[in-house]
Amino acid sequence: MGFWRAIAERIRGRSCFLECEGEDCEPGRRVDDADFAMALIGLGAKMAKADGIVTRNEVEAFTQVFKLPEEGAEPLRRAFDLAKQTTLGFDGYARRLARRFRAHPAILEDVLDGLFHIAKADGVVSRAERDFLDRVADIFGFSDLEYRRIRNVHLGAAEDDPYLILGVEPDISEDGLKRAYRRIAAQNHPDRLVSRGVPPEMQRLAVDKMAAINIAYARICDERARLAGVGV
């Protein structure tokens, strides 16, 4: 069962587990995901609070990407309302998710995508919200280059640099570029998100991400082809 589907089952009050993975887990051990569902809800709530004001648009954005079903959702709404009172403790939630899914960076990127969606909901991403996202990305273990790639897809780059969109350096080899593109395209392809069971709103975000990735790769290939032609 994919992470997002498992979380949805847990939110609906059904018994479900995720396979335990990582150095601190015994082989074959299974872990109830309730703790991680609450960490996800808490982190999303504190993202909404990061700029000091929780707007209705931010609450709606949260419910779009971290869906709470109508049936049995009242305790989770109360947990969200409690968590959104302050940003204190957000790093603890982020660490719990990072420890649990350190072997699955695609899931952590899904979470970060959801947080960006909340941050953008009121039309402005403040300095405080950027700092919050920067810190979560650091806790999740994303390198500076990886995080710049994720951030630039959502917020745009200060300079229109396709290498930043792909998260690679300009001097990367042709083979390295192809491998990087295939890896990031496979990880962010909407079909892959469907298999992880992500909510429909995040699947729509994935379509936009894939478009940006494909455009960036095409631009790099075109630029390199032109340079190669000039050098002939």
The tens digit of pLDDT for each residue in 166-211 reads 888 899 999 999 999 998 888 877 777 767 666 666 677 778 788 8
Which two tokens mark 94?
A: 């982020």
Q: What average pLDDT does the chain have?
A: 79
- Return the amino acid letter for 143: S
d(CA 8, CA 75) in angstroms, rounded, equals 14
What does the DSSP assignment read for 8-72?
HHHHTT---EEE--STTS-TT-EEETHHHHHHHHHHHHHHHHTTS---HHHHHHHHHHS---STT
| Maximum CA extent, the chain | 67
pLDDT tens, 57-116?
A: 998 888 887 766 566 567 777 888 889 999 999 999 999 999 988 888 888 888 899 899
Q: Say what percent of the chain tops pLDDT 70.
A: 75
Residue written as token pair 């050098």:
231
Decide if pLDDT at 142 tops 90: yes
CATH number of 159-232: 1.10.287.110
Domain with CATH 1.10.287.110 in the chain: 159-232
Q: The whole model's pTM is what?
A: 0.69
